[in-house]
Amino acid sequence: MTEAFVTLATTDEYMCGALVWAQSLREVKTTKHLVCLVTKSVSPYMVNLCHSMFDHVEVVDVLDSGDAANLALLARPDLGVTFTKLHCWRLVQYTKAVFMDADTLVLQNIDDLFERPELSAAPDPGWPDCFNSGVFVFVPSMETYEKLLKFAIETGSFDGGDQLLFQRELRRPAVNLGLTRNAPFVSTL
């Protein structure tokens, strides 16, 4: 069966990052499919470019937490649309996948991540007892998608973003990938 690296682009700016991400994976000679989830807010021009770099492009609806109050406390109003990441679990044509935020950059081949169990992820640098949802291994499943979507609609996330939604609803410990797999942005400054 087929495995894939997956990313999400909700704007043209994030699509630029997704294109660089895809190129970085191609340069390290990944053997996995590259998938980009795109929202309708991405311009047709950028979606066309996306088709030239990815094996599969899927247009998805924006899922926004709508939690302006908590997102304002974090000074990150942009994190509300990270609920759109839930769509990655709908990619059931793949047996396993690795989600990576569009602002990540791959410097060496990381195909070995597919040998890791589901919910392998790096710890969040701010909250080390939580995993960072910028890079994680998952198994696509409509059951998991529906469970997460229901929880998002009924309960939401106390910080308004996807990361703590995953922590609370998936209710299983993440397998630590270590910071070498997902260095926090402060380490690159």
Residues of the chain where predicted confidence (pLDDT) is lower than 50: 65, 67-77, 79-80, 157-160, 173-174, 179, 181-189
Count of other CB atoms within 10 angstroms of residue 74:
13
Query: For the whole model, what pTM was predicted?
Result: 0.80
Residue-level pLDDT at 73:
38
| Pair type for strands 131-138 and 56-60 | unpaired
Report how many domains make up the chain: 1
The pLDDT value given to residue 189: 29
Q: Which two tokens stand for residue 90?
A: 């709908």
- In this predicted structure, what is the pLDDT of residue 155? 62
Q: What is the dihedral of CA 94, 183, 177, 129, to 10 degrees?
A: -110
What is the pLDDT at residue 64?
A: 54
- Position 118 scores a pLDDT of 87
Say how far apart CA 37 and CA 24 lie, in whole Å: 18
- What's the pLDDT score for residue 168? 58
37: CATH: 3.90.550.10
Which residues lie closer than 8 Å to 189 by C-beta, 6 or more apart? none
3-state helix, strand, coil in the chain (%, to 5): 40, 20, 40
Q: pLDDT tens-digit profile of 86-129? A: 899 999 999 999 999 999 999 999 999 999 998 888 776 766 56
**Sign (positive or negative) of CA dihedral 116, 165, 126, 130:** negative
Looking at the DSSP bridge assignments, the partners of residue 102 are none
Domain that holds residue 144: 3-188
d(CA 151, CA 130): 18
Distance of alpha carbon 102 from alpha carbon 89, whole angstroms: 17
